[in-house]
Amino acid sequence: MTDPDIPTDPHLWLEDVTGDDALAWVRERNAGSVAALTGGARFEAIRAGVREVLDADDRIPYPRRRGEFLYNFWQDAANPKGLWRRTTLEEYRGGDPRWDVLLDVDALAAADGENWVWAGAAVRRPHYDRALVELSRGGADATVVREFDLGTRTFVEGGFELPEAKSRVSWIDDDTIYVGTDFGEGSMTTSGYPRVIKAWRRGTPLAEAEVVFEGKPDDVSAYAFRDHTPGFQRDFVGSHPDFYSSTDHVRGADGSLVKIDLPDDASPDVHREWMLVSLRSEWTVGGRTFPAGALLVTDFEAYLAGSRELTPLFLPDERTSLSGWAWTRNHLILNELSDVTTRLEVLTPGPDGWAREELPGAPELGSASITDTDPDNSDEYLLNVTGYLQPSTLLRGEVGGEVEVLRRAPAFFDADGLRVEQHFATSDDGTRVPYFVVRGESTDGPTLLYGYGGFEVSLTPGYSGGLGRSWLARGGTYVVANIRGGGEYGPRWHRAAMRENRLRAYEDMASVAKDLVARGITTPERLGVQGGSNGGLLTGVMLTRYPELFGAVVVQVPLLDMRRYHLLLAGASWMAEWGDPDDAADWEFIKEYSPYHNVHSGRTYPPAFFVTSTRDDRVHPGHARKMMARMLEQGHTPLYYENIEGGHGAAADNEQRAFMSAIVYEFLLRTLDPGSSTER
């Protein structure tokens, strides 16, 4: 499809990620931004302060239980690429545990001559003796996979190994794994993820591995995994036709597939004899109608046999949603949101149904989340409690027992005189849009508005030492907008800003900006807006559609060219969110907000700063590059910085993270608070 209103793109050459001409252009832009924003005492102080937070020895080392050990990945000044390590609960309780280092990524990178970035490990159950370790070059989503022996602390010679790709791997048994990777032509989806899943037996060529499932070429991805729960071992395979739907099957020992008969956009979660069903749309089943956002439970084997007896465990209303859940051995913990504040419940199955009681620990105007459980063996749970002014506390409990404090994070800034408020703005269609404000008594400082508004992601309160030191402690006000497109009120809140309704998210964000001014919290000249990824699209729209509302705009790892987003890297996987630009009807509503197509030479825009990463293989850096080039071509003067490493997070280690944070804060302070000193 071609649109006569859209001229031929003269900046396509900037989509050549590592092309010599494109990188020369990047380095020239980088040099200009570095010269403009760095070198002053304030920049250096911000960078040092953020780096101190990131490297602090007294941060909470969040663990994940695997059998008898607690595992943790740790980065600090001495170990910038990080250590994969483990300890026991008894050692962890002691406050200064002895860590058993399994893998030193810095030493491995030096030995291999590679810029390795840790990407995770799948530890083999039930022995917890081997792992499939994933390592990324420079922080990209694509990884190499190597089998690792936790006993000898070495990679297994002749073990499972995959070259760099966006792979999906998991253990079947000691000598077999499920693997989806780039097997050659036709094996990956149009989104760049595995389409074909094989069972690969140790010591045999990958090319001879048995194909166990194939998705369609235009699916987002395919998957397979084994549930290793003792007494309930099952294999599941399936695919995701789009970002919000799945086809799920139970795979028998003979390779047969039994489809789990659910709505395509419902998500199953099987635990022991139970199956949870999370609904994204209304569903009528067994003579009852359940709303979108409900969580249902049923006996799994009975359901496969044809029973449709389902019990609702959570039903949403206009103010509540289900944020998540976690199984323990005998219980289910629900994490619920009520106007974006957390409530925790414990549900227990019994002969009279599912009993429920509140799980204590959730703070007012804060958040709590289950970080880990041990569903095979116990009713243990780890709970993280935090807030904008409340450093995180890690709690450990067993359902029905006492709760102990395992760790308290340090306070990295002085919160005296600061307060957290929640307000509601009114969007163009009358919808109430919640937002949080963190501020002191003074209204003279600059204000930073942050948002995301997509993919049913909820923005809940959380502590940031870097933000506190760099912004709040310097007199800034911080605002988080819970706009539609997110998950704060469940699927309905998300669906209200999908596809043809996308403008609702942007109207919500603009309404919050206007409400801040109406309340006297700030003025447009002193109001900045920041977002990344989908949030980068959001701030790109704020720049081009609502320039009069802001004094500065930060656009990080963004999508901006919505005519071509589906052709770049993982973009095709997001068409359920925004639409298909190759469909004429879809392009009609997409082109209304696509920032790359709505920036013009005849308008005045606030100062803008585009930040991205060369190694981002999820959102293409060409989006930011081309937007910058177009604005320069039109006579505008935005700033640009592209980290040559870093992946979608735009930074690969703490040094890079500190630099990227400092250069953004320096831009915001110089732009929104021009009278402030750059020497402190």
Residue of 187, 511, 648, 661 marked catalytic: 648
Whether residues 544 and 655 share a domain: the answer is yes
pLDDT single digits (tens) 266-325: 999 999 999 999 999 999 999 999 999 999 999 999 999 999 999 999 999 999 999 999
Going by pLDDT thresholds of 50, 70 and 90, the confidence category of residue 366 is: confident
* Tens-digit pLDDT profile for residues 449-497: 999 999 999 999 999 999 999 999 999 999 999 999 999 999 999 999 9
b/e map 266-279, b = 16+ CB within 10 Å? bbbebbbebbbbbb
Last residue of a domain, one of 410, 433, 460: 410
Written as one string, the DSSP assignment of 489-519 is T-HHHHHTTSGGGTHHHHHHHHHHHHHHHHT
Q: Which residues pair with 154 in a beta bridge?
A: 149
Question: 3-state SS string over 98-139?
Answer: CCEEEEEHHHHHHHHCCCEEEEEEEECCCCCCEEEEEEEECC
What mean pLDDT is predicted for residues 348-359?
95
Tell me the percentage of the chain whose pLDDT exceeds 70.
98
Q: Is 417 in the same domain as 354?
A: no
Q: Does one domain contain both 366 and 433?
A: no
My answer on whether 381 and 484 are in the same domain is: no
Domain boundaries, position 310? 264-315
Handedness of CA 263, 265, 269, 270 (dihedral sign): positive
- The pair of structure tokens assigned to 89 is 């609960």
Q: Which domain-ending residue is among 359, 391, 410?
A: 410
The answer to whether residues 544 and 591 belong to one domain is yes
134, 145 contact by CB (below 8 A): yes
Domain stops at, among 379, 410, 441: 410
Distance of alpha carbon 58 from the chain centroid: 25
pLDDT computed for residue 618 by the predictor: 82
Residue 430 shares a structural domain with residue 541: yes
Do residues 294 and 425 share a domain?
no
* CB atoms near residue 578 (< 10 Å): 24
- Whole-number average pLDDT of the chain: 95
Model pLDDT, residue 2: 47
Confidence band, pLDDT 50/70/90 cuts, at residue 646:
low
**Judgement on whether residues 359 and 278 belong to the same structural domain of the protein:** no
Q: b/e string for 497-514 if b means 16 or more Cβ within 10 A?
A: bbeeebbbbbbbbbbbbb
Q: Beta strand 447-450 with 527-532: parallel, antiparallel or unpaired?
A: parallel
Say what the pTM is. Answer: 0.92
Q: What share of the chain is helix, strand, coil (3-state, %, to 5)?
A: 25, 35, 40
Sign of CA dihedral 492, 498, 502, 506: positive
Reply yes or no on whether the pLDDT at 518 is more than 60: yes
Region 124-131 average pLDDT = 95
Q: Is residue 201 part of a domain?
A: no
pLDDT digits (tens, 9 = 90+) for 571-594: 989 999 999 999 999 999 999 999
Mean pLDDT computed over 500-527: 98
Q: Is 648 a catalytic residue?
A: yes
- Same domain, yes or no, for 284 and 418? no
- Same domain, yes or no, for 419 and 563? yes
CATH of the domain at 493: 3.40.50.1820
Task: Reply yes or no on whether the pLDDT at 340 is more than 70.
Answer: yes
Per the domain annotation, does 102 fall within a domain? no
Distance, CA of 522 to CA of 172 (rounded, Å): 57
Is residue 100 in some structural domain?
no
Q: What pLDDT was estimated at residue 7?
A: 61
Tell me the C-alpha distance between 481 and 662, whole Å.
23
Query: Is the backbone of residue 231 left (phi > 0), alpha (psi -120 to 50) or beta?
Result: left
Residues 581 and 575: their CA atoms lie apart, in Å, by 9
Residues in CB range of 174: below 8 A, 6 or more apart? 124, 127, 130
Distance CA 337, CA 319 (A): 8
Residue 1's pLDDT band (cuts 50, 70, 90): very low
Whether 477 and 521 have beta carbons less than 8 Å apart is answered as: yes
Query: Is 455 contained in some domain?
Result: yes
pLDDT in tens, 249-277: 999 999 999 999 999 999 999 999 999 99
Same domain, 287 and 431: no
Residue 45 is assigned to a structural domain of this protein: yes
Residue 433 belongs to a domain:
yes
Task: pLDDT band for 4, please (50, 70, 90 cuts).
Answer: very low
598: exposed, middle or buried (Cβ count in 10 Å: 0-12, 13-18, 19+): middle
Q: Is residue 283 part of a domain?
A: yes
In a domain, 64, yes or no: no
What is the C-alpha to C-alpha distance for residues 322 and 369, in angstroms, rounded to an integer? 12
pLDDT in the model for residue 484: 98
Q: How far apart are CA 626 and CA 13, in angstroms?
A: 9
Q: Extract the tokens encoding 652.
A: 């690969």
User: Structural domain tally of the chain?
Assistant: 3
Of 572 and 622, more confident:
622
Q: What is the pLDDT of residue 138?
A: 86
Considering the candidates 533, 573, 594, 613, report the single residue annotated as catalytic. Answer: 533
Asked if residue 559 and residue 655 are part of one domain, the reply reads yes
